[in-house]
Structure 1
Amino acid sequence: MDWITVLRSLQSDFIKRLTSGCLLHCQTEGQYSEITIISGERLKILREFCWQMAEKYKRVSPVRDVFISYLKGKLGEEVVKERLADLITEVDYEKRIGGDGKTDFTMTSNPGIGIEVKSRYGSIDKVRWSISAEEVEKNSAVVCVLIQEEVNEAQSEYHLFLAGFLPTQMIKLKTGRISFGIEQLLYGGGLRGYLENLQCSPNYQDKQTSNSESIYQVPHNSLTKSSLYSVKNAKISSPSKQLNLIYIKLGDECSEKGQYHAAIINYNQALQLYPYDADIYYKRGLARYQLGDYEGAIADYTQAIKINSHDADAYYNRGNARYDLGDYEGAIADYTETIKINFNDADAYYNRGNARCCLGDKQGAIADFQKATSIYYTEGNLAKYKKVKESILDLEIEESLDILNF
C-alpha cells in the first residue's frame, strides 16, 4: 500500500467526520488542523486589503464582485499560511501586476516550488474546485479550502476546512481546465510531508516529464528489514496513526537513499503525532549519526532508552556515538548494557574492547576481543573472526614489550 492510497483512505474518513462535525482542531501555527477560524482583527485586515484590491481592479468587474473574489482567495490563503507557517513564503501582490501570477505561495527554501490555493463555498457533496493548465504548469501542488459561510461584506466569522490537496503531477489535463470534488483530493494532513519531501527530492524539477507515475509514491519494499512498521500490515485505528505511519515510511525510504536531512524531517513529523515512540527516536538518531551529529544522535538514543530501557540497539549505537566523541568510559558503559540485554552481541564485545584499548586497559580489551572471536566463529563470520584475532595478537605483542621494559 503506497502513501497515496493511505491519504485517499484518510480523505474518506475526513469526509465522514466533516459531515458529522467531528474534526481535528489545533490553533497552534505550523501544526496541522482540519478547521481554521478567522474573525476579529485578523478578518478586518483581510477585508481592508480586499477592498483596496477591489478599488484597484474595479474597471475589470463591479467593485463588490472583485472584493468577494479576493476575500475568498485570501481566506483560503490564511488557512495555508497558518498550517504551513515558515515552510512557505507568500507571493507579494503589490509586485505582481494583475494578481499573483497563478502562484499563491512558494517554498521558503526553494522559490521554484509553487503552491496554488483554491477556495470555494458550498455543500461538500456539490462543491468543486478547478485549476487551469497554466496553474498546473507553474505549481507543484494545489490546496483546496472549503468555506462554511457564504462570503459577504458583513460576515463576522468564517469557519474554513482544509479540504485536501493534489500534487499537480497527478493532474492529467485533456482540456485547458479541470475540476474535482472533495472525494478526489488527498487528505490535507499529508500536505506538509509531501512538500518537505518535494523540496529534498532531486527529481522535483522533472515533475512535468511524466504524468503517468507519481515520483512521490513510496515503493512497496521501501522499509528496511528491521523496521517495526508496515502500512500494509498495520491494524490502523485512527487517522493520526495512519499519518504517523506515512511519515515513518517516508523517513525510512529517505534513510535508505542516504537522504538523511529529509529522513529527519519526516521523523520529526511522526514524533509530533506520537512523541513517545522509542523506535522513531532510534531511527532519527541513526540519521543524525550519519550526518555527523553525534550529540544529537546521543540525545535521540537516550530518549529511546527512557521509553524502552531494554533497547539493546539504542545502547549499542549510543556507545558508538560516545566513542566517536572520545567519551570512552561512556561508550564502555553503553556496550556493557548492550551485553547485559544480548549476551551474544559480538560487535558490542569488540567495540568495548576498542574503547578499553583507548583507556589503556589492555587486559580488559583482550578479554573482550577473545569473547568476540568466539561468537564470530560460532556464527560463521570468519572475516570478523580473523580481524579480531589480529587485534588480539597485536595487543599481546605490545604487552610483552611492556613487560620487557625496553
Structure 2
Amino acid sequence: MRKKAGLAVVLVSLLVALPARPDAIGDGNICYEKFATADYKGAIRYCTSAIDSGELQDPDLIAALINRGVAHKSIGDYESAIADYTRALRIAPNDALLYQNRANALHEMGDDDAALEDIQKSIDLDPKSAGAWYVRGAIAEARSNAGNARKYYMTALSLDPQNKVYREKILGNGSR
C-alpha cells in the first residue's frame, strides 16, 4: 500500500512539474472574449497562441484569423490584418466576409484600388451583405464620388434598416 501511495505522489509531482499543453480551442475562445471586450492586444496574444498551436481545424482557424485580423485593424496594424485575412482566404476562397474585412482594412490603409477589387468580390459572393455595401460606399466616398457613395450607403441601410451607423451615414452628417 505504501508503494502505491508513494508512486501516486511521484506521478502527481511529475504532472504538476510539466508545463500545461496549450488548449488551442480554449485560447481561441479567450481570444474572442478579449476581442468582445475591446482588449485587442489580449485578443491578438490569445489568437496567436491558438493559431500557432497547429491544432485548429479549418473553421476554428478561420475564426481565429478573422478575430486576430479585426483586432490588428482595431489598433491600426492594417498590414497584419490584411495578412490574416489573406491567410484565411487561402483556406476559404469563397468567403464574402473575409473579402469584406480585407477590403475594409485595405481602404483604411489607403489602397482603394485593391479595396475596390475585394469589396466587389464580397458583393458578388453575397449581394445581401449590408456591411459590404457600406464598405463599398466608404470607398466611393473616399474617391469623391458622393452620388455612388450615397447609393451604396442606401443599399446597406435597406438591407439592415435598424443599423444606427448606416442610418447616421444617410440621415446625419454623411454623404448627401
Matches within 5 A, 1:325-336: 325-336=109-120
Task: Give the TM-score normalised by structure 1.
Answer: 0.37
Contact 2:35-2:71 within 8 A present in 1 as well: yes
| Structure 2 alignment gaps of length 5 or more | 1-5
Once the 2 structures are TM-superposed, how far is the Cα of residue 294 of structure 1 from its aligned partner? 0.8
Aligned to 1:247: 27
Q: Which has the higher helix share?
A: 2
1:388 maps to 2:166: no
Once the 2 structures are TM-superposed, how far is the Cα of residue 387 of structure 1 from its aligned partner? 3.1
- 1:387 corresponds to which letter in structure 2? K
Change (3 A) 1:258 1:357: closer
Structure 1 vs Structure 2: percent identity of aligned residues?
27
Deviation track 1:193-245 (CA, whole Å, cap 9, x = no partner) reads xxxxxxxxxxxxxxxxxxxxxxxxxxxxxxxxxxxxxxxxxxxxxxxxxx111
1:164 maps to 2:47: no
Q: Which has the higher strand share?
A: 1
Deviation track 1:16-67 (CA, whole Å, cap 9, x = no partner) reads xxxxxxxxxxxxxxxxxxxxxxxxxxxxxxxxxxxxxxxxxxxxxxxxxxxx
SS of the equivalent of 2:16 reads strand
Taking the aligned partners of 1:373 and 1:126, their CA distance within structure 2 comes to 65
Aligned to 1:340: 124
Contact 2:100-2:135 within 8 A present in 1 as well: no
| Structure 1 alignment gaps of length 5 or more | 1-122, 130-143, 147-162, 166-185, 191-242, 395-406
SS of the equivalent of 1:317 reads helix
1:353 maps to 2:137: yes
Matches within 5 A, 1:5-404: 124-127=7-10, 146=14, 163-164=15-16, 188-190=20-22, 243-274=23-54, 277-376=61-160, 379-381=161-163, 384-385=166-167, 387-388=169-170, 391=174, 394=176
Taking the aligned partners of 1:373 and 1:268, their CA distance within structure 2 comes to 35
Taking the aligned partners of 1:270 and 1:303, their CA distance within structure 2 comes to 15
Taking the aligned partners of 2:112 and 2:120, their CA distance within structure 1 comes to 12
Taking the aligned partners of 1:386 and 1:287, their CA distance within structure 2 comes to 24
Q: Which runs of 4+ in 1 moved over 6 A?
A: none
Change (3 A) 1:249 1:366: closer
Change (3 A) 1:348 1:261: same
Taking the aligned partners of 2:35 and 2:20, their CA distance within structure 1 comes to 24
Root-mean-square deviation (CA), in Å?
A: 2.9
Aligned to 1:85: none
Contact 1:373-1:389 within 8 A present in 2 as well: no
SS of the equivalent of 2:114 reads helix
Task: Give the TM-score normalised by structure 2.
Answer: 0.77
Once the 2 structures are TM-superposed, how far is the Cα of residue 359 of structure 1 from its aligned partner? 2.1
Taking the aligned partners of 1:314 and 1:383, their CA distance within structure 2 comes to 21
Once the 2 structures are TM-superposed, how far is the Cα of residue 299 of structure 1 from its aligned partner? 0.5
Once the 2 structures are TM-superposed, how far is the Cα of residue 128 of structure 1 from its aligned partner? 6.7
Change (3 A) 1:357 1:291: closer
Contact 2:134-2:156 within 8 A present in 1 as well: yes
Return the structure number with greater relative CO, CA threshold 8 A, min gap 6: 2
Once the 2 structures are TM-superposed, how far is the Cα of residue 263 of structure 1 from its aligned partner? 1.9
- 1:257 corresponds to which letter in structure 2? T
Deviation track 1:110-162 (CA, whole Å, cap 9, x = no partner) reads xxxxxxxxxxxxx7534177xxxxxxxxxxxxxx5x4xxxxxxxxxxxxxxxx
User: For the pair shown, which has the larger CA radius of gyration, 1 or 2?
Assistant: 1
Contact 1:285-1:300 within 8 A present in 2 as well: yes
Once the 2 structures are TM-superposed, how far is the Cα of residue 293 of structure 1 from its aligned partner? 0.6
Once the 2 structures are TM-superposed, how far is the Cα of residue 361 of structure 1 from its aligned partner? 3.7
Taking the aligned partners of 1:326 and 1:187, their CA distance within structure 2 comes to 44
Q: Mean Cα displacement is larger for which, 271-280 or 294-303?
A: 271-280
